[in-house]
């Protein structure tokens, strides 16, 4: 009897917070099923294809490959969210990071390995610096990050779009893109025959580092403190402005790194719009929101969302349901949770 009670208490403590999430996911699937039904498609077939398409055979590696940038963008969103800050400009930082990495990988006269290292670093540095602009705007002029980060994405994407149309354009392709990056400056394949590249290791390492810092370091503690109660954090001696800057530098660096990894590991050139088209930053933001910015939970949510996206491709191919429905599903889950106040209670 006592053991049963213990088990139950244990379960409610650890699984209790998950219940609303499970409920919201059920609602999301329900609504998407209804939408499918409304446009005259079979929901059963839709969900079947979604599941199979995400994990069956080689599709599993597709999901892993997709999870790499998605987990990265999730971490970029989760770090600020942990402190109650929203970075909506990850797309701009991603594009600039990818573009900078491509430029270095194409034009830096240096040995292969050095060039690769500098390209990755350049991606991080550029993403970081661009995110810092928004932080400076809030610190010195009180422009809310929510607004400035979002508005800054347009000039960033515009600049990259211009660069690959005019000065960096590879005339041999039909797309506005840079030349192809030489094999030596690419991130190699991790599992030959699959789309998984060495970027997997970088992002895995990063995820472990972020989880460790969040749980075990004073930096992580101060972040969580601010997320729980900003005024108390200030009272407790957290330098809020410096923290804002640090958070944005880190978030932008990660977004830039993801851009660099996508360019150096899978696309091998910077093509206008190709980094932002899969909407990793949006899925990442939603995944991080789902887990309240807690890094491990965010990573798990990101992997699930990656599976959902991969499944979406299979669904689109086999039953001709547009895969953008998976975006609808993701946003409904977060919307429902936020409306119920199950996550992100109003402060």
The distance of closest approach from Cβ of residue 46 to other proteins in the complex, given in angstroms and rounded to an integer, is 12
The distance of closest approach from Cβ of residue 48 to other proteins in the complex, given in angstroms and rounded to an integer, is 19
Does 155 contact other proteins by CB under 8 A?
A: yes
Of the pair 115, 157, the CB lying nearest other proteins is at 157
Which residue of 274, 289, 301, 303 would you call a contact of other proteins, by CB under 8 A? 289
Which residue of 108, 150, 224, 278 would you call a contact of other proteins, by CB under 8 A? 150
- The Cα 47–Cα 29 span in angstroms is 8
Does 184 contact other proteins by CB under 8 A?
A: no
Of the pair 124, 337, the CB lying nearest other proteins is at 337
Location of structure tokens 């996206």: 309
Which residue of 15, 19, 26, 39 would you call a contact of other proteins, by CB under 8 A? 39
- Applying CB under 8 A, the span of 10-18, 43-51, 52-60, 318-326 interacting with other proteins comes to 318-326
Does 335 contact other proteins by CB under 8 A?
A: yes
The distance of closest approach from Cβ of residue 173 to other proteins in the complex, given in angstroms and rounded to an integer, is 17
Contact in structure between 188 and 197 (CB atoms under 8 Å): yes
Of the pair 197, 326, the CB lying nearest other proteins is at 326
Of the pair 21, 119, the CB lying nearest other proteins is at 21
Does 172 contact other proteins by CB under 8 A?
A: no
The distance of closest approach from Cβ of residue 312 to other proteins in the complex, given in angstroms and rounded to an integer, is 11
Of the pair 257, 291, the CB lying nearest other proteins is at 291
Does 27 contact other proteins by CB under 8 A?
A: no
SS (H, E, C) the chain: CHHHHHHHHHHHHHHCCHHHHHHHHHHHHHHHHHHHHHCCCCHHHHHHHHHHHHHCCCHHHHHHHHHHHHHHHHHHHHHHHHCCCCCCCHHHHHHHHHHHHHHHHHHCCCCHHHHHHHHHHHHHHHHHHHHHHHHHHHHHHCCCHHHHHHHHHHHHHHHHHHHHHCCCCCCCCCCCECCCCCHHHCCCECCCCCCCECHHHHHHHHHHHHHHHHHHCHHHHHHHHHHHCHHHHHHCCCCHHHHHHHHHHHHHHHHHHHHHHHHHHHHCCCECCCCCCCCHHHHHHHHHHHCCCCHHHHHHHHHHHHHHHHHHHHHHHHHCCCCCHHHHHHHHHHHHHHHCCCCCCCC
The distance of closest approach from Cβ of residue 146 to other proteins in the complex, given in angstroms and rounded to an integer, is 7
The distance of closest approach from Cβ of residue 24 to other proteins in the complex, given in angstroms and rounded to an integer, is 11
Task: Return the residues of window 202-231 that contact other proteins according to CB under 8 A.
Answer: none
Does 47 contact other proteins by CB under 8 A?
A: no
Does 30 contact other proteins by CB under 8 A?
A: no
Letters for 81-120 (x = contact with other proteins by CB under 8 A, - = none) are -----x-x--------------------------------
Alpha carbon of 266 to those of 198, 305, 333: distances in Å? 10, 20, 30
Cα 328–chain centre separation? 17
- Applying CB under 8 A, the span of 54-62, 122-130, 183-191, 323-331 interacting with other proteins comes to 323-331
Cα 123–chain centre separation? 16
Contacts with other proteins by CB under 8 A lie at 35, 39, 86, 88, 137, 140-144, 146-148, 150-152, 154-155, 158-159, 161-162, 165-166, 282, 285-286, 289, 322, 324-325, 327-328, 330-332, 334-335, 338-341, 343-346
């Amino acid at each position: 009897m006592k053991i049963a009670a213990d088990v139950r208490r244990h379960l409610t403590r650890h699984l209790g917070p998950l219940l609303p999430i499970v409920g919201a996911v059920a609602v999301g699937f329900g609504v998407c099923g209804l939408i499918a039904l409304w446009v005259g498609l079979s929901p059963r077939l839709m969900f079947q294809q979604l599941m199979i398409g995400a994990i069956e055979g080689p599709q599993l590696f597709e999901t892993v490959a997709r999870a790499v940038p998605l987990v990265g963008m999730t971490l970029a969103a989760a770090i600020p969210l942990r402190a109650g800050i929203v970075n909506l400009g990850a797309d701009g930082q991603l594009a600039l990071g990818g573009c900078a990495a491509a430029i270095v990988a194409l034009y830096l006269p240096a040995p292969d390995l050095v060039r690769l290292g500098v390209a990755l670093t350049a991606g991080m540095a550029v993403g970081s610096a661009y995110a810092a602009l928004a932080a400076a705007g809030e610190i010195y002029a009180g422009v809310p990050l929510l607004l400035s980060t979002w508005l800054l994405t347009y000039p960033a994407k515009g600049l990259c779009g211009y660069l690959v149309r005019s000065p960096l354009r590879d005339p041999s392709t039909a797309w506005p893109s840079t030349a192809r990056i030489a094999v030596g400056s690419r991130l190699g394949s991790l599992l030959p025959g699959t789309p998984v590249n060495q970027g997997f290791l970088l992002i895995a390492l990063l995820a472990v580092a972020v989880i460790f810092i969040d749980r075990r370091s004073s930096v992580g503690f101060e972040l969580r403190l601010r997320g729980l109660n900003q005024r108390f954090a200030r009272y407790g001696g957290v330098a809020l402005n410096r923290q804002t800057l640090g958070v944005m530098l880190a978030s932008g660096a990660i977004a830039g790194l993801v851009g660099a990894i996508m360019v150096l590991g899978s696309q091998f050139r910077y093509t206008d719009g190709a980094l932002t088209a899969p909407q990793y930053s949006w899925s990442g933001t939603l995944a991080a929101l789902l887990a309240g910015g807690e890094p491990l939970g965010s990573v798990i949510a990101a992997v699930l969302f990656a599976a959902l996206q991969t499944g979406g491709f299979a669904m689109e191919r086999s039953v001709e349901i547009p895969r953008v429905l998976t975006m609808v599903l993701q946003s409904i889950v977060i919307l429902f949770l936020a409306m119920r106040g199950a996550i992100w209670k109003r402060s």
